[in-house]
Amino acid sequence: MPRGLADTHRNRRNATLKIMRTRRRLIIGSAVFLVLALALWLARWRILAAAGHLLVDAEPAKRADLIFLLNGDLDTRPGAAAALWKQGLAPRIAIARAESSRAVQMGLVPNITDLALEMLRRDGVPREAIHEIPFPDGVTSTRDEAKAFRTWLRGNPASSVLVVTNAIHTRRARWIFRREFRGSDIRISFFAVPDRRYSVDRWWENEHGFLGVYNEYLKLVYYWLRY
């Protein structure tokens, strides 16, 4: 066979083999993608449930010197703190003063901390067992609350603290407190208060659960990037 024809034949054969290899890779890649997509689809509920549970980082309530109640969710947090106090898990409850909105300043609505304090009292916690922690202009975030609490503890010592907050808030709260209390010997544990409106196992079925989990992940990313 003339050399030119042999080279042409070889080039065509190589091109054909290359096309076949490319097709094979595409077929294998498509098959792998479909299998993975099917596996994810079949496991979607478990994955979603795991995403909710990943936000929960708490332990069974242990006796402590003090309960620290985080502001927010009046439907669950104050009642849980009062119940823990009644169980004798701590003799005192502390809460940081929240920022007053313009509506609060105008006297149209009460400050959220005042509402929490009143709920604690109506749930049977005496005023002398409750400590309100001041903070310049009021706390606006969990980080502010941790800062205010550590400053307050300098004059009100405690060797152990039980932080009360919503279940899906516990991982971020623990991360914040671990940073703010770095170098401290205070034992800090977290009590996860379940939400009455949804279950962490099926948070996506409820608007409150969906928004709560979505916002927590956004805030986690924000805190990791900023602090």
**pLDDT, tens digit only, all 227 positions of the chain:** 455 555 555 556 666 667 777 777 777 767 677 777 666 666 679 999 999 999 999 999 999 999 999 999 999 999 999 999 999 999 999 999 999 999 999 999 999 999 999 999 999 999 999 999 999 999 999 999 999 999 999 999 999 999 999 999 999 999 999 999 999 999 999 999 999 999 999 999 999 999 999 999 999 999 989 87
> Of 137, 123, 151, 149, nearest to 68 (Cα)?
149
Q: What's the pLDDT score for residue 14?
A: 62
Return phi, psi of residue 163, to 5°.
-90, 130
Q: What's the pLDDT score for residue 12?
A: 66
Q: What's the pLDDT score for residue 201?
A: 93
Is there a contact between 133 and 148 (Cβ–Cβ < 8 Å)?
Answer: yes
The one-letter code for the residue type at 167 is A
Helix ranges (H only) for the chain are 3-42, 44-53, 77-86, 102-105, 112-122, 142-153, 170-180, 207-226
Q: What is residue 193's DSSP assignment? A: E
CA distance 50 to 36: 18
CA distance 14 to 168: 59
Q: What's the pLDDT score for residue 23?
A: 76
Please tell me the total number of residues recorded for the chain in this structure: 227
Helix ranges (H only) for 60-193 are 77-86, 102-105, 112-122, 142-153, 170-180
Long-range contacts of 46-50, Cβ-Cβ distance < 8 Å, separation of 24 or more: 48/203, 48/204, 49/200, 49/201, 49/202
